[in-house]
Structure formats: structure tokens, C-alpha cells
Amino acid sequence: MTFTNRRHFLSQVSFAAAALATSGFGFTSHVKRDGFVEVEIAPGKLRGVRYEGVNIFRGIPYGGKVSGDRRFRRPAPVEPWTGVRSSVFGAPAMQPPRHNEPAPAEDCLFLNVWTPGNDDKKRPVMFYSHGGGFVIGSGASQSQDGSNLARNFDVVVVQTNHRLGLLGFLYLDEIAGADYAGSGNMGMLDIVDGLKWVHENIARFGGDPDNVMIFGESGGGAKTSCLYAMPTAAPYFNKASIESGPGVRMTTKEAAAQTTAMLLRELNIPSKDWRKLLDVPATDLLAIQAKLPFVPPFIDKETNKTAQPGAGGFGPVVDGNVLPHHPFDPAAPEISKDKPLLVGWNEDEYNFFIWQRKETDLVKMDFDGLHKKLEPFHGADTGKMIETYRKTRPDASAIDIFVAISSIAMMGLGSIDIAEKKVKQNGAPVYLYNFGYKSEKKILNTDYPMGTPHAMDISFKFNNEVPPKNPSQPSESFFGGKKPERFVASHHFAELWTTFARTGKPAAKDVPTWPAYNLKDRPTMRIDTNCEVINNRFGEELAMWRSIKKA
């Protein structure tokens, strides 16, 4: 029995991320500069921008050509350059155009660095993988700008662009031969190349190559789950955080091969002539990709088969080599046993999707409507589910319960599953969290507040919710609202994460001691203006979910 139709949810994540990409939600524009700073790495000299105590290096190539004869393969080496390379964002991976960014391009292997100084200090390195499922996104979103983390907490922040969609995850291993081994995971191997670049170069940017934290939200959380299980990534990081994107299981070879066959049929290319894919313009491949399902089908853990008919979607493939097994099934990956982990989700994840899909009628639903809305996903268990949530939340409205059920089904159950499996491994600690700061902003033209929706945590954990320099200027966050107390919640979140990056244990001033997760007390840190540790949070509700799972 599956908890929810994960394919339906992930498709919403991809479409919602696409909406953010085109809505103007926080994409970095030009930065005013205080001066320049130069650094030399093996391929040549880089010129960064110095701005309010942070050196910003944008568009650094960490891999070479991935187009032409390198399509679906490992990248060519970075070509050396003469002179000094300026700090300009590199092209994002092929996707619809992004607001205030360069045009997407097939050759997209660039990274960005924010550092307090190009000196000999050994600062913790925070290596972030962007969200957007596995089909859109880039390392240039303003909400995830690394300046404030670097400036306020003395860390180095790194973010990559990497291949996405079918150009990053088309599985050709079974028809294309040894040169294309690992083709279903090129996008993940790009990220590993970024980590390798950090290991080799970050000391020149004031970072410690032996103290690297990987983290990511939504699709970036799933990427982090995969990195946590990948042998090629293992030497290059020490700790990880999986945020609102628990990647417990990924695509099987069988499902990925079906998707490849479907793509070839769509292009009228026989499998023996697969090389013709190398001649199809990238823009045409992007158009074809848009006709296919956005994400791979959910893989049922009991049968190891797709829980929905049909193929489609592009994401990491459990190929037995690059990704040897599912990241957290049947157990936490042994290869990262000794690496501390953070994992968690936002309390009101689904409000993001109500906003994005303009599902304003949901806000008005009664309890009969709630049953009708949930039944297609939860079947005969729907009544038991609603009964449990009405008992534990006696004052909640129908929409409140719908959001609570949908949010934990999307992100919470997988996060808890990861935490439990990590505990059972008897290795490094795992810390479970919920982000709970409540935005007063209303969803569309309703009176229903956003609460703590999916993606709101990004600007908070990057400490990009800060008071304006001019107190007379209005200050409002895209999701976070206008209340000044959000600045305190953001500082807590950022300090917890940067302390974890530095020491492997999350801590912050004016925040209670955060105990590692265990199977007795099941402590969860609720992150807000006033943070608190809650033992066995959602205990009665989780007991219901577990009973459904065993049914």
C-alpha cells in the first residue's frame, strides 16, 4: 500500500518549480560592487566581485563540453583560458527561459562561490543542490543567494548548474555500449564533478576541502539523498541535509529503459539507430521532453515495480554502478554510515501547490468535500485518516486537515523513514526537524494564510530574510510575509545549519539543545521564532499511517 500517489505529487513539484522560474520569484540580478578580487586556478585566472564583505565568483566552469559528441556522456575537460575570466552567471541547463538569467544551454557546467575571503582560513563549505525536480532550476536563484550565509556565519557557499531532464538522465546503458555507461545519471555525476572541483580548489577561496556539507531542498533534497549513496561522491563530503525532498527510492533500470524506448518511439528512431539522438537539436529534445510525464513513476517498495502504468520522466537511475541501490531502501546507505545527517520538512508544504495551481476552491471545502478529494489517493483508508486527524486536531477546518495530510504524505513520511533507518544503522547521528514559521500572506484571493509552504524555507535557511538597511523601506518576502519576527526565525535556521556544517551538530544561540533522533523519544526540532524540541511529534497520526502501510 503506498501512502499517496507520489507521481502526482512530484509532477506538481516540477510544474510548481516551473511557475517559480517564470514568476520573478527571487532570481539574482546584477550585484553592486565594492571592488574586485582575483584568484588563479588551474585553467586560468578568475575575477570576483567584492560586495559588503563577501567575494562572489559566478559562472566558474567546473566541467567542459557536454554537447555534440559529449551528449549523454561524461564532460570534456575544462578548456584553459587566457586573461581573466569575469564573474558572470553561466548558462543554466536546458529548460524554459529563466527570469534575469542567461539563456539556457546544453553546455551548462558552471558553479558559483560566495566566500568571506580568498585567504588561508579553513571555513566550512556548504554545497547546495537546487530544487526543481530533476528538470528545471539553477544555482542563481536570489532566494538561495549565499552572500548572507558567508557574511554572517563565516562559511563558504557553493552552488552548481548541472544537466537536467533527458539530457542529464536518459538511460542508454543497454543500447549504447561502454562509452555511455552511467548515462542515466549524468546529471548526478555532474554534481559529483562539482564536489571534486571543491575538493581541489576551495582552499583558494578560504574553504576547508575536508569539511564539506551537502544540502538541498525539494529536488535538491532528492539529489542529496542520491549523493549520500553514491560511491563517487563519498570522498568529497562529510555531512548532509535533506530538506523537503526525501529521496528514499529512485528509478529502476527497467522503468528507465521503458522511458528511453518511449522517447525513441516519439522521435521515430529505432533503438539500433539511437545515435541519431546526438543530431537532434537540444531545443527539439526539450520540446519532446515536455510531451512526456515530468517525473518517473513511483516505484512500489514491496514489489519493486512501478505503482502506476506506463513510463516517462527523467531522474537518477538505480543502475547498480553509479547509484548502486536505492538511497534509503531497504536501509540507510552503508557508505555514509559515519556522516551526520539532517532531514525534515515544512509544516504546510501543500499550500505552495494550492497557490501555484490556483486551487482556491479547496479553501472552501467542507468535510464531505475533503473525503472526495482524498479518496482517489487513499481509497478505503480515507475515512480512518480523516477520523484520526479530526481527533488530534479538533479545531481544524477541512482545508486545515487536507493540508496536514497532504504535507506529511508528500514530505514527512519519507523524512521520518530516512531518520529511522539512519538511527538503526548505529552510525553518525541524524537530526529530524519541522520548519514551522507561519507567514500571514494569503493564498491568492482567499483569506487562507500561506503558513509554512513548500520552498519557503529556502530564503530562511540562507538567511535572506533580514531587516532592510533603511528601516523606512517596506520589507516583504515573497512567501514569508511582512512580520519582522521572520528575521529571528531566519537567523535561527541559518545558524543551526551553519553550525551543523562546521561541527556536525546543529546548534544556535537562544535555541534549545537539539538531541539526535532516536526510536524511543523521537525528538523533532520545530524551527520558528521560538524553537522547541517536541518528542514523538504527530505520534497518533503516524501510528495511523503505519497501520495503513501494514494493511
Q: What is the pLDDT of residue 17?
A: 47
Question: d(Cα 195, Cα 192) in Å, to the nearest integer?
Answer: 5
Is residue 288 a part of any domain in this protein? no
- Whether residues 330 and 365 share a domain: the answer is no
Is residue 283 a part of any domain in this protein? no
CATH number (domain holding residue 30): 3.40.50.1820
Give the N- to C-terminal CA distance of the chain in Å, as an integer. 7
- Whether residues 330 and 373 share a domain: the answer is no
Domain end point (choices 334, 359, 382): 334
Q: How many CB atoms sit inside 10 A of residue 358's CB?
A: 10
- Whether residues 329 and 422 share a domain: the answer is no
Sorting pLDDT into bands at 50, 70 and 90, what band is 549? confident
Is residue 310 a part of any domain in this protein? no
- Whether residues 351 and 221 share a domain: the answer is no
- pLDDT tens across 269-306, in order? 999 999 999 999 999 999 999 988 766 544 444 444 44
Is residue 218 a part of any domain in this protein? yes
Q: How far is CA 122 from CA 209, 211, 235, 403, in A?
A: 8, 8, 18, 43
- Whether residues 477 and 328 share a domain: the answer is no
Q: What is the pLDDT of residue 303?
A: 41
Catalytically annotated residue among 14, 183, 218, 241: 218
Is residue 277 a part of any domain in this protein? no
Question: d(Cα 414, Cα 248) in Å, to the nearest integer?
Answer: 7
Position with higher pLDDT, 32 vs 23:
32
From 166, 55, 190, 188, select the one nearest 110 (Cα to Cα): 190
- pLDDT tens across 302-331, in order? 444 443 444 678 999 999 999 999 999 999
- Whether residues 352 and 246 share a domain: the answer is no
Known catalytic residue at 218 = yes
Q: pLDDT averaged over the chain?
A: 91
From 146, 135, 176, select the one nearest 14 (Cα to Cα): 135
Is residue 303 a part of any domain in this protein? no
- Count of domains observed in the chain: 2
Q: Give the lowest-confidence range in 48-62, 203-217, 302-316, 356-370.
A: 302-316
| Global confidence as pTM | 0.93
- Whether residues 71 and 184 share a domain: the answer is yes
Residue given cell 484520526 in the structure block: 388
Is residue 513 a part of any domain in this protein? yes
Is residue 368 a part of any domain in this protein? yes
- Whether residues 393 and 329 share a domain: the answer is no
Domain end point (choices 285, 309, 334): 334
- Whether residues 415 and 329 share a domain: the answer is no
- Whether residues 239 and 359 share a domain: the answer is no
Q: In terms of DSSP H, where are the helices of 249-300?
A: 253-267, 282-291
Domain end point (choices 268, 299, 334): 334
- Which structural domain, as residue segments, surrounds residue 347? 340-550
- Whether residues 330 and 389 share a domain: the answer is no
Q: What mean pLDDT is predicted for residues 506-516?
A: 98
- pLDDT tens across 407-464, in order? 999 999 999 999 999 999 999 999 999 999 999 999 988 999 999 999 999 999 999 9
- Whether residues 367 and 461 share a domain: the answer is yes
Given a cut of 90, whether residue 105 has pLDDT beyond it is yes
